[in-house]
Amino acid sequence: MHEIIAALEANSLVLDLGSGPGSFPDDPAAYRAIRFDLKLPPNPPPNFVQGDASRLPFPSACFDAVLCNHSLEHMPRYKNALQEIGRVVKRSGAVYIAVPDASTPQDRLYRWLTEGKDHVNLFVHRRELSKTIEWYTNLSCAGIRTLHTSFNFLNRRNVKNPAPPRFRLFALRAEWPLALLNKAFRLLDRRFRTRFSHYGWAFYFGNLPEAISTATWNNVCLRCGQAHEDAFLMAAGNLHKNWLLGQAYRCPACTAVNAYWKDESL
C-alpha cells in the first residue's frame, strides 16, 4: 500500500477501510486519513469512524485513495463493500486491497484456530477476485503482488483477549520457535515448491503514477507482520549472524529478530 501513499499529493483524503487502530502511519502534512471499522478499537485513532463497510457514510467521489488492508475477508457483504469503495473513490483515485489465499496452509490453520468465525470469505482465485473488484469499483487492475506470511498470529504478543481456546493453546510465548518455524517452511518451499510461506495477494487498482512492482518480499516480521525488501534490509545494515537462525535481520519497525531470505530464493 505504501506505493499509493507515497504518490499522494498534499491534502489528499485517504480511507483506511477495516482499519482497526490504523493500517498505516498518520502524516497530516501529506494526507488526511479517515479510519473506518465496524468495531471500536480500545484507543481509537484520530478521525475514526465506526460503521458498516457495506453502507459507507461518505459522499460519492470524495477519497483520493481507499486502502483495504487484510479486511475484505472479514466482511460478510464484501461485494456491497466493493460497490461502496467504487462509489466513494474518485475516478482519478487508487484502491489497494490485500486478502489471504484460503487454499494455503497458513489460512487453513488460521481458520481452524479461530473455529471458522473470522475469515468469512474464502478467496482462492486471484484473477477471479481481480475481475470482481474491477466490476464493482469500475477501476482497472494496475498490478497484483504475491504476499508471504510469517505466521505472526501464532505470536502470543498478537493474541487478543478474549481469544478462542485453540489460540490460547497454540500461541507461542517465545519468538525463537516461530523464527525457526518460518525458516523451516521457507526451506521446504524452496526445495519442494510447497506453499507454506504463501499468504495471499495485494491488488492495486486505478490511477498509479508508476508501474507496480510484482516482486515478492520474503522477509515478513514474525511480530509486527511488516514485509521488507531484502535490498533495503541490507542497505540499512539490519543483517547479522545468529547462532540459531544463521543469517538474520532485526525488523526496522519493531526490532524482532527474523531469519533473512533473499527475495528471489523461494
d(CA 205, CA 96): 6
d(CA 107, CA 182): 15
Does position 263 have pLDDT exceeding 80, yes or no?
Answer: yes
d(CA 189, CA 150): 13
Write down the domain spans for the chain.
2-149+197-211, 172-195+215-266
May I ask the CATH architecture of the domain 2-149+197-211? 3-Layer(aba) Sandwich (3.40)
d(CA 261, CA 16): 30
Read off the pTM: 0.93
Render pLDDT for 141-158 as a digit per residue (tens, 0 to 9): 999 999 999 999 999 999
Length reported for the chain: 266
Q: What pLDDT, on the 0 to 100 scale, is given for residue 59? A: 97
Which range (61-75, 160-174, 214-228) has the least confidence? 160-174
d(CA 1, CA 104): 22
pLDDT band at 124 (very low <50, low <70, confident <90, very high): very high
Which residues fall within 8 angstroms of residue 107, CB to CB, at 6 or more apart?
A: 100, 101, 119, 199, 200
Distance spanning both ends of the chain, measured CA to CA: 23
d(CA 228, CA 240): 15
* H-run or E-run covering 247: strand 246-250
d(CA 65, CA 21): 18
Render pLDDT for 36-58 as a digit per residue (tens, 0 to 9): 999 998 888 889 999 999 999 99
Render pLDDT for 196-234 as a digit per residue (tens, 0 to 9): 999 999 999 998 878 888 889 999 999 999 999 999 999
Q: What pLDDT, on the 0 to 100 scale, is given for residue 265? A: 67
Q: What pLDDT, on the 0 to 100 scale, is given for residue 266? A: 66
* H-run or E-run covering 177: helix 176-192
Q: What pLDDT, on the 0 to 100 scale, is given for residue 134? A: 97
Q: Which 3 state secondary structure label does DSSP give 157? A: helix
Are 61 and 89 contacting, i.e. CB atoms less than 8 angstroms apart? yes
